[in-house]
Structure 1
Amino acid sequence: MEKDIKILAIESSCDETSAAVVINGRKVLSNVISSQIAIHTKFGGVVPEVASRKHIEAIATVVNEALIEAKLTFNDIDAIGVTYGPGLVGALLVGVQYAKGLSYALGKPLIRVNHIEGHISANFIQHKDLKPPFLCLVVSGGHTFIVYVKDYGEFEVMGQTRDDAAGEAYDKVARAIGLGYPGGPKIDKLAKEGNENAIKFPRANFHEESLDFSFSGVKSAVLNYLNKMEMKNEEINKADVAASFQKAVVDFLVSNAIKACKIKKVDKIAVAGGVASNSFLRKTLQEEGSINNIAVLFPEPILCTDNAAMIGSAAYFEYLKGTEAPLDFNAIPNLKLGER
């Protein structure tokens, strides 16, 4: 019987300090998350310096809690995985430096993990039998990708945003209609009360066979609509604005994702990232998947957020390849998927 591999993982790329213990890339023994949302809400978004300081305050406690919850000690761990990009450089450095210290002190291998790869790997935790190849739609506050997962740790980016990420557009529109931060869940909730066909917001058209996205146009269209209504002194139905904006974004995401599946002739698409929790995205993609005989897979909401369990899963597959990071590696805030 092969030995179980236990990974202690650390995630600190933005405003969640998280540590987890994951066995064999699929089984989560613990997944502790210390969120800073309440702190950053009063600023209307994440303040990088504040995020870094809060990571410093929380990281030791979070790691210890993860071990206690898993009923393990540092000696039981086989390797340490850590996010090293993309993300906020100061926030990333807190996790990277802490992981380096643990690796050196404990004599355990250190594995660096791409944050986007972590989001994709969340589906290996949720869906125990999921194996490549499959398509993955990664949708979060900072990233929007269509990725062909060829094998564990092997990716082909088929489409990506050329400007704002989908989640970023959600936050900006939410701020414009007075919902505050974080915008995604609030727009999703308000949209349920609105008419998604009330306002026709545009979708980018690249006039080419591209699977790329652009969300700055629809965001600007919403802002222009709000300004015109205010100038005319007409009442704004915020629920209709939220629902119509969300429809424009989700239709774009879903149509490109389905198109990518057909190009690669795959019948599975997994969704990852914070926006994967969006109820309208889930509903629309499942409906289109059913029509096109494509299975649609989502992680549970806690695995859609930034969390260390997904980093532990990704780290495990790198561990199997014998990949070990040198102690002089650095955080890379603009790290691309597939780079090392």
Structure 2
Amino acid sequence: MTETEQLDEEVAIEAATEVLPLDAWHRAKGGRMVEFAGYWMPIQYEGIMAEHLWVREHAGLFDVSHMGQLTLSGDKVAEALETLVPGDISALKPGRMRYSLLLDEDGGILDDLMITNEGDQYGIVVNGAVKWEDIGHLRESLPDDITLNHNEDYGLLALQGPKAVTALTRLVPEAVGLVFMQAMRATWNGHAIAISRSGYTGEDGFEISLPNEVLNAFSDALCAMDEVKPIGLGARDSLRLEAGLPLYGHDLDPTIDPVEGDLAFAISKRRREEGGFPGAARILGHLADGSPRKRVGLLVDGKMPVREGAKLFDGNTEIGVVTSGGFAPSVGAPIAMGYVPTGLSEPGTAIAAEVRGKRVACTVAAMPFVPHNYVRKTGA
């Protein structure tokens, strides 16, 4: 390939990658930009380890505007959603959220998502890498009288860490009344915004949806505070790994059902009794009799990280694969997630991973690796 051809290819790749509304803001803050889920996104600013530890102790601002923000409205929206997900959406009260799973006809996971009862409609946040597939699936599967809107004119920020509530309530005082998995509407400088006490780091925090035109000003207002720094994708990944939270497209995909993915909690009691969701026979069978494999945590001996794709062994028998892995700054050691036969999924089970042709000893561990710090009681 000539230099000109290489340059043309690089230009074509960049042209095919979208930019976030805050792209210039990230670059001005020193963000190192990489391609992720079809967007240029900051992987780090000061360094992944420093940013990770900052979030554990203070508050970090993440730009997650690549994710899809959808709203559904119309008659019997909750009942229609229950034909696609295994959660009890009908029981979701206004201002409450639920983690759920979009399932294919065999019970495989098409995406994991958040559903919020917003009173006059239901809000759904889906993963950026598959949001267009999700939108197509929803439009094809839901009744014609249900309206689906993709809110592309809104961005999404995640403010995470023990000082998040201190910082956010300087701008939106009423957010202090929220607890984990609650949401509200508010205004900031005359603009309608939506806030939920949620996130994907295991720490207390909030996700804030707001119009693209005020993202810069809101982000500047937060990062002007001593408690808050911008944080990149690298620390978001290490934080969610320590929290034992799966990443779609890595730890979850259509070949995996909720029981195998260690997400049985997302199957509500009523749905377990009544069924009626895609793949119910397979999933309820796995709940009753056990699944053939299970997502587990792994503590890794030594200092060598075990990355996604590493094969797992019991003796000389290949038994599974690592789906996420890396160094865990708060643990001070490498950790991983992967799939193993259910008979080898008990914490304390000794197995091995293959890294560069060598076996590395691992121990199955309970997750999360670092305790969650969600605020579940009224107040902060």
**Which protein has the bigger strand share?**
2
Give the TM-score, by structure 2 length: 0.27
**Which protein has the bigger helix share?**
1
Give the TM-score, by structure 1 length: 0.30
* Structure with the larger RCO, 1 or 2 (CA within 8 Å, 6+ apart): 1
